[in-house]
Chains A and B, each alone.
Chain A
Amino acid sequence: MPEPVIVAQNLVKKYKDFAAVDGISFEVAPGESFGLLGPNGAGKSTTMRMVGGVSTRTGGDLRILGLDPNRYGPEIRSRLGVVPQADNLDTELRVRENLLVYGRYFGLPRAQVARRADELLAFAQLEDKAKSKVDALSGGMKRRLTIARALINDPSILLLDEPTTGLDPQARHILWDRLFRLKEQGTTLLLTTHYMDEAEQLCDRLVVIDKGVIMAEGAPAELIRTYSSREVLEVRFGSELNADVAGRLKGMGDRIEVLPDRILIYSENGESELVRIVDAGLTPITSLVRRSSLEDVFLRLTGRTLIE
């Protein structure tokens, strides 16, 4: 196996008494696409900042490209591309200028930065916006520009903190497509998300984080196999009745989760569970059979949904 590009061992970050990250360990191989999945406040962004060399760890050990961020912060950052949760593009500069100025921070020659900026504007599908003001861009465009900016130094590792949060579905798909291309080109991706579909699309492997600790680790399909059934039947009886009905569903499927708005029945065959429910004389208002997702894994591991 090639030398991992990120090694975290028992990583801890405390703010006074509160441990935002409480002893997490993981490794990321070069070219791998690795995800940190968890709800808001799980410690994903804090982990990201430590990996990004802008937050000093309180404990544990961390190596990026074999270097300790405490000593080699700037060196590590020179090989990273960072897409922060909130865009911090320079609104006083035009779109292309944002790339030019950022490339200079890496000590790259002006001509090289200019060439690279044009390539990246094409990659981000923003060529005709080169001279626009940043504030005139849509949310999705700003995000793509931020990604383009993060790629200006041709990074070994791209860090993406909630890359598609707040974007509309179409903008998300465009972004995923761009990220997928990067992955195909062999860029190592480390991303945080609380969207399970995003994690399933983009991550080769991921860790589920909750309250600063790792709950599970594996490939998305593997996690689903381990922690959930093949299919899920979702039934709604109306918010008043869900809890009552749940009692009468006992024994159906492998496992039942009662949520405020619906009941989830985990099973290898969702359709046949639905037949059993109807045979029992119960009539759900709506029913849906779907494949298990990482959302179900998370629910199983923490007893909570990802987006609350």
Chain B
Amino acid sequence: MSTDPTGTDQRGPLRIGTAPPPGSPGDRAIRATRRTRRWGSWYVAEHRFRVMRSYAQTVTVTAIGNPIIYLYALGVGLATLVDANLGADAVGGVSYLAFVAPALLGSAAIAVASEEFTYPIMLGFKWNPVFYGMNASPIQPGQIINGIVISVAVRMVLTCGIFYGFMLLFGAVPSPTGFLAVFVALLTGLGFGAVLMAYTATLTEDTGQLAMVMRFVILPMTLFSGTFFPLDLLPVWLQWIGWISPLWHGTELARVFTYGLSEPLWLSALHVLYLAVLLALGWVWARRITARRLNK
């Protein structure tokens, strides 16, 4: 008798120790599934890419339009004001453009995360329940989550790569190690996004929770993460917002690479660790919720 109702014990009771006889239907099934066991996550990613193609225009326009608008408005427009009034290296010891650009890069990754880790999840479970269709094939719940992470990572790298290209064009990257900021932005976006994905996976209904997240999590995070002004300008009792914010950790680390912000090595290591832990926790959590929801 199968005794474990949670389904965590995948071995089953009558584990006879021997594989099904060669040539039997069971044996054929086992051989037919090897590819999906290995590559299933990529097949799900393939699905996501196909879907993204249907809104490829939006993806391209935001990937190219965002950096131009933000770098121009803040890095050139606002910067003129800041640099003229406070001196050309008043904020962080560099031009305001160099100061704000890595933060905007991180925000671009967060923007991709807040789009791709929310609605596609609600969709797959509820609005157009394609996850159930995937789960009826040899694809496993964990692979669905992996596939989404893979596809979002690809979109994020492309978006951030383009953004970085514009940063170079605007002359916002004094340091030769600046390109590493693209990967920092990726880690930032995925770290935040994985937790957001797991949270979204717990929602059986969207009665405005996602809009609340946008308004009361993502927006304040973008404003108070040392993005537009250094975190230590905030009163001490508000600085915690930065410390728990993946965007602050990502931005500070990116600044180390783009203009050589000086911070102790342990702090840089902590940034990486914090983002990696968020990514790992969110990812594992999302896989568990998905496995539970799809096994009814």
A68 within 8 A of B: yes
Contact A66 B25 (CB under 8 A): yes
Task: Answer yes or no: B30 CB below 8 A from chain A CBs.
Answer: yes
**Chain A residues, CB < 8 A from B25:** 3, 5, 65-66, 79, 156
Interface size class of chain B, counting residues whose CB lies under 8 Å from the partner chain = 35 or more
Nearest CB in chain B: distance from A219 CB, A: 25
**Residue among B14, B26, B138 making CB contact with A61, cutoff 8 Å:** B14
Pick from B2, B20, B132: contact of A88, CB under 8 Å? B132
Which residues B102-143 have CB closer than 8 A to chain A?
Answer: 123, 128-130, 132-140
The segment out of A69-77, A176-184, A237-245 that lies at the interface is A69-77
Q: Which of B1-42 contact A (CB under 8 A)?
A: 1-7, 9-15, 20, 24-26, 28-30, 32-37, 39-40
A58 to B128, CA, bound (A): 29
Q: Across the interface, which residues of B come within 8 angstroms of A104, CB to CB? A: 43, 46-47
Is A74 a contact of B5 with CB atoms below 8 Å? no
**B40: nearest chain-A partner, CB-CB:** A105
Asked if A84 and B132 make an inter-chain contact with CB atoms under 8 angstroms apart, the answer reads: yes
Determine the distance from Cα of A188 to Cα of B260 in the docked complex, in whole angstroms.
67
- Minimal beta-carbon separation of A55 from chain B (angstroms): 5
Residues of B close to A80: CB separation below 8 A: 136
Closest to A55 in B: B296
Query: Is there an interface contact between B11 and A70, defined as CB atoms closer than 8 Å?
Result: yes
Binary interface encoding of chain A residues 63-103 relative to chain B, with 1 for a CB under 8 A from any of its CBs, else 0: 00111111111111111101010101111110001000110
Q: Given known contacts A55-B295, A91-B128, is B33 in contact with A75 (CB within 8 Å)?
A: yes
B296 lies within 8 A of A74 (CB): no
When the two chains form their complex, are residues A105 and B36 in contact, meaning their CB atoms are under 8 A apart?
Answer: yes
A97 to B43 Cα, complex, angstroms: 14
The answer to whether A105 and B137 touch (CB under 8 A), given A56-B2, A79-B29, is yes
> What chain B residues lie within 8 Å of A153 (beta carbons)?
137
Question: In residues 32-78 of chain A, which contact B (Cβ within 8 Å)?
Answer: 49, 52, 54-61, 65-78
Q: How far is the CB of A21 from chain B (nearest CB, A)?
A: 12
Q: Is B203 an interface residue (CB 8 A)?
A: no
Give the complex CA separation of A49 and B91 in angstroms.
61
* Complex Cα gap A3–B26 (Å): 11
Task: Name the residue of chain B whose CB is nearest to the CB of A74.
Answer: B138
A102-B133, A102-B137 given; A72·B29 CB < 8 A: yes
A71/B136 in contact, CB under 8 A: no
Q: In the bound complex, do residue B2 and residue A107 qualify as a contact, i.e. CB atoms below 8 Å apart?
A: no
Evaluate whether A90 and B133 lie within 8 angstroms (CB atoms) in the complex, with A75-B30, A76-B29 already known: yes
- The listed residue (B20, B50, B134, B135) touching A66 by CB distance below 8 A is B20
Q: Are A77 and B26 in contact (CB under 8 A)?
A: no
Cross-chain contact A92 with B29 (CB below 8 angstroms)? no
The distance from the CB of B280 to the nearest CB of chain A, in whole angstroms, is: 24
CB-CB under 8 A from B4, the residues of chain A are 56
Q: Is A26's beta carbon under 8 Å from chain B?
A: no
Judge whether B294 is part of the interface by a CB distance below 8 angstroms.
yes
Q: Tell me which of A56, A76, A88, A89 contacts B5 (CB under 8 A).
A: A56
A65 & B33 in contact (Cβ 8 Å cutoff): no
A107–B6 Cα distance when bound, in Å, is 28
Tell whether A77 pairs with B2 under 8 Å between CB atoms, given A56-B7, A90-B51, A90-B130: no
Known: A75-B138, A92-B51, A105-B134. A70 touches B9 (CB 8 A): yes
User: From residue B115, how far is it (CB to closest CB) to chain A in Å?
Assistant: 14
**With contacts A68-B14, A71-B12, A79-B28 known, is A101 near B138, CB below 8 A?**
no
On whether the beta carbons of A73 and B128 are closer than 8 Å, the reply is no
Interfacial chain A residues near B24, Cβ < 8 Å: 65-66
Q: Report the Cα distance A73→B51, complex, angstroms.
A: 27
Q: Which of B10, B29, B46 contacts A78 (CB 8 A)?
A: B29
Is B204 an interface residue, CB under 8 A from the partner? no
The one of A57, A67, A72, A106 in contact with B137, judged by C-beta atoms closer than 8 angstroms, is: A106
Residues of A within 8 A of B51 (CB): 90, 92-93
A65 partner, pick from B5, B29, B37, B134, beta carbons under 8 A: B29
Is B139 a contact of A70 with CB atoms below 8 Å? no
Residue of B nearest to A62 (CB): B2
A14 within 8 A of B: yes
In the complex, the answer to whether A78 meets B32 with C-beta atoms within 8 Å is: yes
CB distance from B102 to the nearest CB of A (A): 34
Known contacts A54-B296, A93-B50; decide if A77 and B137 are in contact (CB<8 Å): yes
Q: A70-B13, A78-B32 are in contact. List 14 more A-B contacts (CB 8 A).
A: A14-B5, A49-B296, A66-B25, A67-B20, A67-B26, A72-B26, A74-B138, A76-B29, A84-B132, A89-B133, A97-B50, A104-B46, A105-B36, A105-B134
Closest 7 CB pairs of A and B: A107-B35, A70-B12, A56-B7, A105-B137, A68-B12, A74-B138, A66-B26
